């Protein structure tokens, strides 16, 4: 979209979904894209390239049409569509970002100990679990309590970010129950909680679109970062499905304009009210574009697709203007 449009979020308005093409919303290696005009409006046309021949058309001096056929490089076809997000950027999605309420955390079953009495556990360790378990479920994800997510505008607690640590399989139910750690992405600690495994896989293919309404949100947390993030890093914002956000929505991030002092206005004869003119609020400046990939009720996770400067906590996010 960025190759054809200055503002790639307008891509859905020009994308022509050809009903005769299988999976018309996906782009595969070798496909041909053409920008055409229909009734004066631009449209993007997709043609599947299957014959491996490049054709160019011209005319000779007498006006006769000449079609030149040229062999192209032999390519082995790929069954997978070109991903809209690079695989390297997707690796961090394996951390399974998740937001829960305080009540959900307090009521979740937890690891109370292990067979070897260690406090720090890893894959293949046997663990003991206390709390209410669903006996129809044998596999759980292990999480550690993370950052409190607070709305900077209202002070309301939006939820807790929980940090994924691994997978456990329950072998025997009881008080305590017995389980085995199948895999870990970081150390598992006594006290970590068990939550049902999120079966919703992160899709690599997104069809970008704009929210219907303006969002007027803020960045409230930076995923695996301290002070700032840039391209292909993750931000948490204080807007979710209750604000109309959906997976695939594009949002712009804005750096708040600073308060500048005008040194060229004269102070002579100024009243106190007039003296306020010496300070001027500079406008917010766009700092990047993010795509929403995980949506909860009140918060969402967005991947930074483009950044012209670093993005920090409390930066504003909204529908691109």
- Model confidence over 200-233: pLDDT tens digits? 555 556 678 899 999 999 999 998 888 999 999 9
- Whether residue 150 is contained in a domain is answered as yes
Structural domain count of the chain: 3
Structure tokens at 318: 């909204």
For residues 126 and 171, give the distance between their C-alpha atoms in angstroms, rounded to a whole number.
10
The pLDDT, as a whole number, for residue 204 is 57
- Whether residue 161 is contained in a domain is answered as yes
Look up the CATH number of the domain holding residue 230.
2.40.10.410
- Whether residue 137 is contained in a domain is answered as yes
Q: Tell me: the pLDDT tens digits for 70-95? A: 555 555 555 555 556 666 666 556 55
Give me the torsion for CA of 281, 283, 287, 292, rounded to 10°. 110
Whether residues 185 and 230 share a domain: the answer is: no
- Whether residue 183 is contained in a domain is answered as yes
Does residue 139 have a pLDDT over 60?
yes
Whether residues 175 and 114 share a domain: the answer is: yes
- Whether residue 2 is contained in a domain is answered as yes
DSSP state of 229: B
For residues 216 and 239, give the distance between their C-alpha atoms in angstroms, rounded to a whole number.
8
Does residue 312 have a pLDDT over 90?
yes
Does residue 287 have a pLDDT over 70?
yes
- Whether residue 101 is contained in a domain is answered as yes
- Whether residue 6 is contained in a domain is answered as yes
Q: How confident is the model at residue 23 (pLDDT cuts 50, 70, 90)?
A: low
Q: How confident is the model at residue 110 (pLDDT cuts 50, 70, 90)?
A: very high
Q: Which of 143, 163, 196 is the last residue of a domain?
A: 196
Does residue 12 have a pLDDT over 70?
no
- Which residue range(s) make up the domain with 263? 217-267+276-318
Does residue 20 have a pLDDT over 50?
no
Does residue 3 have a pLDDT over 70?
no
Q: How confident is the model at residue 263 (pLDDT cuts 50, 70, 90)?
A: confident
- Whether residue 209 is contained in a domain is answered as no
Percent of the chain with pLDDT over 90: 53
Whether residues 252 and 187 share a domain: the answer is: no
pTM: 0.72
């Amino acid at each position: 979209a960025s190759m054809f449009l200055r503002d790639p979020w307008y891509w859905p308005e020009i994308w022509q979904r050809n009903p005769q093409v299988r999976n018309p919303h996906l782009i595969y290696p070798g496909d041909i894209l053409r920008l055409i005009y229909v009734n004066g409006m631009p449209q993007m046309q997709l043609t599947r390239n299957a014959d491996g021949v490049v054709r160019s058309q011209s005319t000779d001096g007498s006006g006769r049409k000449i079609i030149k056929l040229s062999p192209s490089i032999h390519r082995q076809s790929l069954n997978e569509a070109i991903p809209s997000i690079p695989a390297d950027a997707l690796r961090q999605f394996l951390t399974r970002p998740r937001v829960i309420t305080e009540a959900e955390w307090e009521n979740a079953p937890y690891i109370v100990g292990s067979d070897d009495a260690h406090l720090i556990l890893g894959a293949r360790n046997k663990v003991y679990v206390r709390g209410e378990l669903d006996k129809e479920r044998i596999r759980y994800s292990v999480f550690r309590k993370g950052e409190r997510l607070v709305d900077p505008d209202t002070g309301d607690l939006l939820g807790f970010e929980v940090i994924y640590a691994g997978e456990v399989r329950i072998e025997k139910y009881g008080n305590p129950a017995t389980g085995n750690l199948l895999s870990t992405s970081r150390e598992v600690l006594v006290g970590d909680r068990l939550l049902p495994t999120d079966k919703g896989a992160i899709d690599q293919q997104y069809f970008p679109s704009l929210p219907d309404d303006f969002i007027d949100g803020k960045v409230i947390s930076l995923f695996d970062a301290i002070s700032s993030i840039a391209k292909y890093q993750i931000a948490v914002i204080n807007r979710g499905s209750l604000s109309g956000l959906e997976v695939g929505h594009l949002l712009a991030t804005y750096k708040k304009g600073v308060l500048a002092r005008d040194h060229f206005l004269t102070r002579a004869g100024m009243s106190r009210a007039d003296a306020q003119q010496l300070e001027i609020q500079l406008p917010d400046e766009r700092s990047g574009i993010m795509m929403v990939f995980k949506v909860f009720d009140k918060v969402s996770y967005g991947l930074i697709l483009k950044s012209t400067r670093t993005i920090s906590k409390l930066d504003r996010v909204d529908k691109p203007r």
